[in-house]
Amino acid sequence: MVLTRRAFILGTGLALGALAAACGQAAPATPSPTAPQAAAATPTPPAQPSPRVVEKVVTQVVEKVVTPTPAVNKARAEVLNIALGGRIADPTNLNLYSPAVDRSIGLHQVIYEYFFYLNLQTGQFIPWLAESYSYNNDFSVLTVKLRNGVTWSDGQPFTADDVVFTYDLLKKNEGMVWAAETNQAVDTVEKVDDHTVAFKLKSPNPRFHLIREAFPAVGIWGGVTILPKHIWEGKDPLTFKNSNPVGTGPYKLVSATPTALTFERRDDWWALKVLNIPPGPKTINFQYIGPETNVALALANNEIDTPFIGILSAGSFKEVARRNPKVRAWQKDPPYSWLDPCPRALMVQNARPPYDKKEVRWALSYMIDRQAVVNLAYEGVTVPTWGIWPFYDGNKPYFDAISDLLKQYPVQAHDPAKARDLLKSVGLTPSDLHPTYVVDSDANEDMKVAQVISDQLQREGVKVKLQPMSGSPLTDTILRGNYDLALNAFCPGYIVENLDLFHSKNYRPLGQNAPWFERNSYRYRNPQLDAVVDQMFKVDPNDTAKLIDLYKQAMAIWLPDLPVIPIVQAPALVPFNFAYWENWPTAENPWNMPVSWWATFNLVIHGFVDPKTGQLVKGIHSAVSG
């Protein structure tokens, strides 16, 4: 189905109109059927979505209408509700090493835990399942001291045996998520004693402890996850569904449906005693309650506490915040968003003609008006980008070093005439291009961006076929490379690690699964870039001058080739509701990252022990007294 830009804009306006109308209605005399239910002996179920509102154009809004503040519900005050962006494909399959499973539906936040967590806001490297790490003199061996007293949710101890088992499993099963990256970096993992493991690396690497795809440390989104040997031993890790997951985390799964995973607090969680971490909410629901309008209504009615990224548009957020003063985003004022570390780029299938030609990729880039994408798809809450790194202050020295290259290769330029000239140089015209643009139909952000970009390309004569997909079929399509264009986030956002996404070691022939979406599902190969990236991984992370020099060398290769087309910086417009839970991270109180879909959300919920002072940094806590 191909939507026109007019239909897209009209649809957005109608949704806002419906939200304004619904929020402006007076409260009924009797309790709403969607209000949270009273406490019961069983775990509190997920909040149900507000009834779908008939969408109509609102011609008049009476600003003096006052929305009554919903009454405090004591049962609701013990529940944390998080809105997902889509349905759960198979709620019986919770094997987070399966490419078809989304681990961010609560699995890596509250079931599993990691050796260390990196707080990007503060720079703290926080010990968790591990106490410390150290390298040998040539960075070829990393020794990790595990924390004593950690147990799995079934009471079994967490030991070095679990770590060795997990890495052996990854070595023997290339189809597991991140197995390829792990096996490229790690030779063996050996048990020193019950609480000490030694990682013997295939080559010296002073950055190994930062590689989330090969080591159990989380800075951005997730990391290698240690599995309980006593549960997984003898199971096929590619087919085992893990329907009742056993983890070290603070919650256990009590219900799983296509629309919600419900987790109940573990009062025997090891960290309560070992780290003196306070308990979190009694129940946590990761739930799908429908499209953007439903989420906005639920947030306005205090039925949910935060949505995932990409669900609410700026217009919907502003309307919700106007109606409910307890709702706010990272910043109080425009652009409201937190800057996510994973910029958005349009992946182009380099292995398929004519997109294997850099002139064609550059022509597509010149046809895209990124500011229009910002204005129409993102409603002004982000900025265009020339690259695949976040515009963080710490990255500025790297960016300054390539200012001359960016003038020579103006990635952000919108120049349709230049695009036509480039195509002509390789014997093509815009009408010769018939790209299939695969888009995640469950992702509000992706659908909006796809519509704007496809309209722009079609206006220049390119015949774009939009192909909405979701769930396992989408994952399979992207990993096998069965697309011409597809928008994706480029994580983890670090200078060296994001360049490594383009390394030929990640190349797989079309039809075979790439390691991951942004990890070369677009099938790019350049031995010159490989050589520079390999050098970067041998440099001490503190040797900034050397890394900057190598970065400039790498970009002198990457920019002319333009293997993917950078579009925008990633806005994380993720409102928090302070009605039932307080101390959410904000720009004024930036104690952590405001991201409920990352594994680090465990620390947002519970807080953590400051590694320097030993003092507790508190997480969210109840806003309801009594």
Query: How many beta carbons lie within 10 A of that of residue 108, not counting itself?
Result: 26
Cα of 298 vs its chain's centroid, Å = 22
- Report the pLDDT value the prediction gives residue 489, as an integer from 0 to 100: 95
**Cα dihedral 571, 180, 175, 229 in deg (nearest 10):** -100
Query: How many beta carbons lie within 10 A of that of residue 527, not counting itself?
Result: 8
Question: 339 pLDDT band (50/70/90 cuts)?
Answer: confident
The answer to whether 216 touches 129, Cβ cutoff 8 Å, is yes
Per the listing, tokens 């008006």 go with 369
First to last CA, the chain: 53
- Select, from the ranges 207-221, 326-340, 345-359, 381-395, the one with the highest average predicted confidence (pLDDT): 345-359
pLDDT tens for residues 217-250? 999 999 999 999 999 999 999 999 999 999 999 9
Tell me the domain boundaries of the chain.
1-23+44-83+278-334+579-626, 113-232, 338-572
- Report the pLDDT value the prediction gives residue 600, as an integer from 0 to 100: 97
Radius of gyration over every alpha carbon of the chain, rounded to an integer in angstroms: 24
CA 116 – CA 111 distance, rounded (Å): 15
Per the listing, tokens 């005050």 go with 77
pLDDT tens for residues 553-604? 999 999 999 999 999 999 899 999 999 999 999 999 999 999 999 999 999 9
Closest Cα to residue 148, out of 157, 137, 136, 161? Answer: 157
pLDDT tens for residues 421-461? 999 999 999 999 999 999 999 888 999 999 999 999 999 99
Per the listing, tokens 């410390």 go with 132
Residues in CB range of 146: below 8 A, 6 or more apart: 115, 129, 130, 131, 158, 159, 160, 163, 194, 195, 196, 197
The answer to whether 131 touches 145, Cβ cutoff 8 Å, is yes
Q: Across-strand partners of 265?
A: 251
Residues in CB range of 506: below 8 A, 6 or more apart: 180, 514, 515, 519, 520
- Report the pLDDT value the prediction gives residue 19, as an integer from 0 to 100: 52
Question: 70 pLDDT band (50/70/90 cuts)?
Answer: low
Q: Across-strand partners of 142?
A: 135, 199
In this structure, the strands spanning 116-118 and 217-218 are parallel
Question: 49 pLDDT band (50/70/90 cuts)?
Answer: very low
What the block records as the tokens of 582 is 């307080």
Q: 292's torsion region: left (phi>0), alpha (psi -120 to 50) or beta?
A: alpha
What the block records as the tokens of 136 is 């040998």
In this structure, the strands spanning 79-83 and 485-489 are unpaired
Whether the pLDDT of residue 98 is over 90: the answer is yes
Where does 113-232 sit in CATH, by number? 3.90.76.10
pLDDT tens for residues 473-504? 999 999 999 999 999 999 888 899 999 999 99
Q: Is 103 in a helix, a strand, or coil?
A: helix
Which of 2.60.120.560, 3.40.630.30, 3.10.105.10, 3.40.50.300 is the CATH number of 338-572? Answer: 3.10.105.10
Indicate the pTM of the whole model. Answer: 0.76
∠ at Cα 23 (20, 26), nearest 5°? 130
Instruction: Work out the mean pLDDT of the chain and round it to a whole number.
Output: 89
Query: How many beta carbons lie within 10 A of that of residue 26, not counting itself?
Result: 9
CA 534 – CA 531 distance, rounded (Å): 5
pLDDT tens for residues 182-208? 999 999 999 999 999 999 999 999 999
Whether the pLDDT of residue 148 is over 60: the answer is yes
CA distances (Å), origin 336, targets 156, 333, 378, 499, 587: 44, 5, 12, 29, 9
Query: How many beta carbons lie within 10 A of that of residue 201, not counting itself?
Result: 19
Provide the CB-side half-sphere exposure for 169 (13 A, CA). Answer: 26
CA 196 – CA 574 distance, rounded (Å): 39
- Report the pLDDT value the prediction gives residue 394, as an integer from 0 to 100: 82
Query: How many beta carbons lie within 10 A of that of residue 276, not counting itself?
Result: 9
The answer to whether 579 touches 291, Cβ cutoff 8 Å, is no
Whether the pLDDT of residue 45 is over 70: the answer is no
